[in-house]
Chain A
Amino acid sequence: MEKSKLRKISDAIWEIPKSGNMRVPARIYATEKLLDAILQDNGPQQAVNVAHLPGIVGYSLAMPDMHWGYGFPIGGVAAFDAQDGIISPGGVGYDINCGVRLMAGKLSRGQVQPKLSQLVDALFRAVPTGVGKGGDIKISREGLRKVTENGARWAVERGYGSESDLEYIEENGCIGIADSQAVSAQAWERGKKQLGTLGSGNHFLEIGYVAEIFDEEAARIMGLQKDQITVIIHCGSRGFGYQVCDDYLEIMDRTIAKYRIAVPDRQLACAPLKSAEGRAYLGAMGCAINYAFANRQIIAAQTSKVFKKVFGMSATDIGLRLIYEIAHNIAKFENHKVAGKMTKVCVHRKGATRAFGPGAQEIPEQFKHIGQPVLIPGDMGRYSYVLVGTEQAMAETFGSTCHGAGRALSRTKAKKAAHGRNIQNELLQSGIHVRSAGRRTLDEEIPEAYKDVSQVVEVCVAAGISKKVAKLRPLGCIKG
């Protein structure tokens, strides 16, 4: 897309005005420098395409980590009126409730570093990673149904973590819209062996430490201190979610004509929220959301177990505690101000994170006056950020912010850039221990394949939709 088509709203916001059959304008959160990079692929056109969908309110939004996806752009946020809007599986993505969990322990970087190699090896053995790697959890179809109805609570009741974790997970680790009747036989089959597994691609488990604190009060309330050890878990609903998305894309592709909805990209197939197809997708998507909550809860418990074993300490002394867990591929009913009036909308966040501001009733009491914690992972070699949501995010972006660094290089270009290099050794030279199921994954995920996450975060801060709390640096990582 040509830059001349965009109108500058502020130093951090650019607007693509309504044209043709767009129902609302599109808005991209970016500095001019970042925008130049964003305009290199089809992401902005995809934000325009989303603006065509029935019932969309406000703007078709794109966060600064946006890039070309399929259907919706990655980094896209769109809200649809609950009465006459639509729901689109492509607006959530295949990895339903892909998200991140941040934990922090009592150990310091100095205590962990001598055993880092051993710790990363042990985590790599304990947490199944990579393609088709099944988990240790053997579960029947009926058992899986209970997982999808109860989410993280299912895991807690089986000894994975504690009851107190649930308060610190988006939706308390279980969304109520789940309907197991809406899930296909293929989705059950695909999800059967993958509970408690990380998967492949950009999913990871990272050991890091708090490198810098920007907001002392918010950090204190979250329990974050400089040099403290942290764990980030990034994964989602695995094959179960992929199949749910795929099933409903096909259904909605077949049925879209009867609702007289025209879409500029077939991947935007959708159905009215109140239609039989829309309601069924909501139920099946809810099951996948809960599967992902249980998945991360199990992996977190496995991680704590490995720490205990490697350091020969009690769980209390290690003190790995959940700070917060958030989803970044999801659609949910929320109440937001639209044209000055509180309205129930279905917010689609595809590669975007909920970032509710202070006072929101959905966030734990502990965080009520600082806003919801948000974790923005960077690449393997640099850093990640802990942010909080703001009132401005509630007013402008349906309480949303970015979700990560966003890819700067395609997988092909990343592999070319990594050719002839030993990425694992390069990272080790910087003190970062990495284990991966496949060398190709490491090549595709090299640090320079991603934008510098600090640039992305600074846009969100400049736009007022997030505030910085802390910066984390990686020490070790396991990948699929």
Chain B
Amino acid sequence: MTNFTWLEEIDHTGDCGVCITAESEAQLFARAALAMMHIITDITCVSAQEKTLFSLEAADRAALLRKWLNQLNYYHITEEFLFCDFKIREIAETRLIGAALGEKIDTGKHQIFTEIKAVTYHELEIEQTSMGWSAQIIFDL
């Protein structure tokens, strides 16, 4: 799916899953968003023209990751927008402030590979390891 060394695709029968590693929690959330956009489009064709801010709260860290990705996907669908870069400004166990950079979909420039219905709770894992942070996410396509 990609050449990212921090990203591994899970072979899920019906849908699509990824495993992500990162040095910090903030990097993990940014990379998870990048992995999701990579499923949707070729992010090398997306320019960081506009910035959108997200301020989110959730019950715990896993729920926060799911909410972050679902809100980005919601914005992508309803605003017909693609993202290519993510900055996590503040992150705690249940709260995140972040920015997503990208541009409006241009059908002449962007190819949309697939639609993500949602980010599921199924086998959703996020943990701090001796190497940093890791997460497993399954998307419903």
Contact = CB atoms under 8 A, between A and B. Distances in A.
Contacts of A480: 115
B115 A132 contact: yes
Contacts of A250: 58, 63, 67
Nearest to B113: A440
Given A74-B14, A190-B78, A411-B16, A131 B114 contact: yes
Contacts of B13: 41, 43, 67-68, 407, 409-410
A246 interface: yes
Interface in B25-72: 40, 58-59, 62-63, 67, 70
Nearest to A411: B16
A132 B140 contact: no
A246 B120 CA distance: 8
Interface string A251-270: 00110000000000111010
A318 to B, nearest CB: 32
A253 B117 contact: no
Interface residues of B, number: 35
A90 B123 CA distance: 13
Contacts of A377: none
A132 B77 contact: yes
B80 interface: yes
Interface in A85-136: 90, 93-95, 130-132
Interface string A172-199: 0000000000000010011000000001
A424 interface: no
B117 A440 contact: no
A413 B15 CA distance: 12
B117 A254 contact: no
B122 A265 contact: yes
B103 interface: no
Contacts of A201: 114-115, 141
Interface in A343-360: none
A254 B1 CA distance: 34
User: Which of A201, A407, A441 gathers most chain B CB within 10 Å?
Assistant: A201
Give the size category of A's interface with B: 35 or more
Contacts of B70: 246
B111 A69 contact: no
Contact of A71 (B59, B115, B117, B122): B122
Given A70-B122, A253-B121, A131 B115 contact: yes
Given A201-B141, A266-B122, A239 B77 contact: yes
A245 interface: yes
Interface in A419-475: 438, 440-441, 444
B19 to A, nearest CB: 13
A246 B112 CA distance: 22
Given A69-B14, A410-B12, A265 B121 contact: yes
B106 to A, nearest CB: 12
B91 interface: no
Nearest to B76: A132
B123 A246 contact: no
Contacts of A43: 13
A200 interface: yes
A253 B59 contact: yes
A441 B111 CA distance: 12
Contacts of A266: 62, 121-122, 124
Given A245-B118, A250-B63, A132 B74 contact: no
A267 B11 contact: no
A70 B67 CA distance: 17
Contacts of B62: 266
Contacts of B20: none
Interface string B70-105: 100010011010000000000000000000000001
Contacts of A70: 15, 120-123, 138, 140
Contacts of B77: 132, 190, 239
20 contacts: A41-B13, A68-B12, A68-B14, A70-B15, A70-B120, A71-B122, A132-B115, A186-B78, A190-B74, A190-B77, A200-B114, A201-B141, A242-B118, A250-B67, A265-B123, A266-B121, A438-B111, A438-B112, A441-B114, A444-B114
Interface of B: 1, 9, 11-16, 40, 58-59, 62-63, 67, 70, 74, 77-78, 80, 105, 111-115, 117-118, 120-124, 138, 140-141
5 nearest CB pairs, A to B: A70-B122, A266-B121, A267-B122, A70-B120, A94-B117
Given A190-B74, A267-B121, A412-B16, 8 more contacts: A71-B122, A242-B117, A243-B74, A246-B70, A246-B118, A411-B15, A411-B16, A412-B9
